[in-house]
Amino acid sequence: MATVPAPSALRVALLGCGVVGTQVARLLTDQSDDLAARVGARLDLVGIAVRDASVPRDPSIDRALLTEDAQTLVEGADIVIEVMGGIEPARSLLLHAIAGGASVVTANKALLAEDGPTLYRAADEAGVDVYYEAAVAGAIPIVRPVRESLAGDRIQRVLGIVNGTTNYVLDQMATHGLALDDAVRQAQELGFAEADPTADVEGYDAAAKAAILASLAFHTRVTIDDVSREGITAVTADDVAWARQTGHVIKLLAICEASEAGVSARVHPALVPAEHPLAGVRGAFNAVFVEAEAAGELMFYGRGAGGAPTASAVLGDVVSVARHRVLGGKGPAESHYAQLPIAPASSAVTRYQVRIAVSDRPGVLAQVAQVVAEHSVSIEAVRQAPIEGSQDGVTAAHLVFTTHHATESALAGTVAAIADLDAVQGILSVLRVEGS
């Protein structure tokens, strides 16, 4: 039987020419000789689909490549790179590309977290690749390590700072005492946060990444709807100051775990002990901490966003899928054989720090301790500090207690009962403590 000769060039279609797409196009051009040597075939950028081809672009972009007809562009491509974002038309274009025999590289976490399996199934049937390293934590290699390097191990837990904007905001609050709104405004001025920062500060971006990581780590389909999500909008300057006083830093974490109840994925602000490696992740950087049975603890650190860092991850995937087209074969397909149940958020077990305002009089601490014990929650440590300025002649104090591990439902019951005590003036904050 005659063998099919390896192609000497591959047709690459780029969907999107924004923050990431511009850098992908630049690297494809600037590094074309190196890329050809690494792949064994030239990567010819045959077109760049945009919404509006008439608007000014970075001077590195060859305007002759721009088109508003993405549908026609993907037809006949060997590799389609999708960096346009959103669910539609990205999903339809990628399915059209796959049906036409193209391999696909995407940075689109929102699409993968909502409907990744539709793409993976289509790619499996067509015998092509879907690669998406850039969809989680930008430049940081994390998809490939979880999907391939750790494929022989059993991952127990993934704990990540996967959103640079919120890490920058929390870091500014901690280091400069800024209020949340001021820190968000600063992040916008520096170009970290979008004009509408909702996806970042409300945790949607991190939740999409958590869904992708949990699916990979636990060989189970996890969508963004399965992720319990809480953003950073309720974090106050007082919370940040108290975190420091108790030896912690507040981070927005994505936490993926497997337990007897199944797979859980959650995103929320949490207190991280100051000595934990994730506590030292500053500014807009990302880091993912993986706990695996045989490998032990691993940490992946770097830039989680930005045009060039994200383009680096995209290009790495492009080289991989291009090599498969030149040499034959394909990369790993979706692995969902374990099909673990999705554990309800209320089953998550962790430690908590609760800060309440109480009337500072004899017996109050004992009342609070009794309520906690009645809910089978165990206190690990308690601190008290006076609140300046008393109300109606009643001296008030902050009472801050940290629990041992407890379920979310037990903690919620405890906090509700504490709030009902006469001596309790208010629940000031309830934060989970992770990483210890």
Q: Is 277 in the site for ligand NDP (CB under 6 A)?
A: no
**Residue of 235, 240, 272 whose CA lies nearest to 253:** 272
117 C-beta neighbours (distance < 10 Å), count: 15
Q: Is 308 in the site for ligand NDP (CB under 6 A)?
A: no
Q: Which one is catalytic: 91, 209, 303, 355?
A: 209
How many residues of this chain bind ligand HSE (CB under 6 A)? 7
Smallest separation, CB 131 to ligand NDP (Å):
13
| Binding annotation for L-homoserine | 194
263 neighbors 224 (Cβ within 8 angstroms): no
Virtual torsion, Cα 191, 196, 200, 202, nearest 10 deg: 150
Measured distance CA(234)–CA(108) in Å, rounded: 28
Q: Which is nearer to ligand NDP, 1 or 55 (CB)?
A: 55
Q: Which is nearer to ligand NDP, 320 or 402 (CB)?
A: 320
How many residues of this chain bind ligand NDP (CB under 6 A)? 24
Measured distance CA(269)–CA(435) in Å, rounded: 12
**Residue of 221, 230, 228, 292 whose CA lies nearest to 265:** 228
Smallest separation, CB 115 to ligand HSE (Å):
18
Q: Distance between the two ends of the chain, CA-based, in angstroms?
A: 61
Q: Which is nearer to ligand NDP, 305 or 371 (CB)?
A: 305
Q: Which is nearer to ligand HSE, 112 or 292 (CB)?
A: 112
Q: Is 165 in the site for ligand HSE (CB under 6 A)?
A: yes
Smallest separation, CB 166 to ligand HSE (Å):
7
Smallest separation, CB 50 to ligand NDP (Å):
4
Q: Is 16 in the site for ligand NDP (CB under 6 A)?
A: yes
Smallest separation, CB 165 to ligand NDP (Å):
9
Measured distance CA(333)–CA(419) in Å, rounded: 50
Q: Is 85 in the site for ligand NDP (CB under 6 A)?
A: yes
Smallest separation, CB 287 to ligand HSE (Å):
12
Q: Is 310 in the site for ligand NDP (CB under 6 A)?
A: yes
Among 50, 224, 250, 431, binds ligand NDP (CB under 6 A): 50
Residue list 138-157, contact with ligand NDP (CB under 6 A): 138
Q: Is 200 in the site for ligand HSE (CB under 6 A)?
A: yes
Give the DSSP letter of residue 259. E
Q: Is 429 in the site for ligand HSE (CB under 6 A)?
A: no
Q: Which is nearer to ligand HSE, 217 or 305 (CB)?
A: 305
59 C-beta neighbours (distance < 10 Å), count: 8
Query: Is 294 strand, coil or helix?
Result: coil
Smallest separation, CB 326 to ligand NDP (Å):
26
Q: Is 160 in the site for ligand HSE (CB under 6 A)?
A: no
Q: Is 63 in the site for ligand NDP (CB under 6 A)?
A: no
What does 20 bind: ligand HSE, ligand NDP, none (CB cut-off 5 to 8 Å by kind)?
ligand NDP
Q: At 389, which amino acid appears?
A: G
Measured distance CA(315)–CA(35) in Å, rounded: 9
Backbone angles phi, psi at 158, to 5 degrees: -130, 130
Measured distance CA(106)–CA(200) in Å, rounded: 20
Q: Which is nearer to ligand NDP, 83 or 433 (CB)?
A: 83
Virtual torsion, Cα 132, 137, 138, 144, nearest 10 deg: -40
Measured distance CA(286)–CA(180) in Å, rounded: 19
Q: At 429, which amino acid appears?
A: S
Q: What string marks each residue from 86 to 115 as x (binds ligand NDP by CB under 6 A) or -?
A: ---x-----------------xxx------
Does residue 209 have an active-site annotation?
Answer: yes
370 neighbors 351 (Cβ within 8 angstroms): no
Query: Residues with Cβ < 8 Å from 99, sequence gap 6 or more?
Result: 122, 126
Residues in the chain: 436
Q: Is 305 in the site for ligand HSE (CB under 6 A)?
A: yes
**Residue of 275, 240, 273, 254 whose CA lies nearest to 429:** 240
Among 84, 97, 155, 240, binds ligand NDP (CB under 6 A): 84
72 neighbors 41 (Cβ within 8 angstroms): no
138 neighbors 304 (Cβ within 8 angstroms): yes
What does 163 bind: ligand HSE, ligand NDP, none (CB cut-off 5 to 8 Å by kind)?
ligand HSE
Near ligand HSE by CB under 6 A, which window of 72-80, 146-154, 160-168, 343-351?
160-168
Beta strands 285-292 and 155-161 are: antiparallel
| Contact positions vs ligand NDP (CB under 6 A) | 16-21, 49-52, 55, 70, 83-85, 89, 107-109, 134, 138, 305-306, 310
Residues with catalytic annotation? 209
| Contact positions vs ligand HSE (CB under 6 A) | 163-165, 200, 205, 304-305
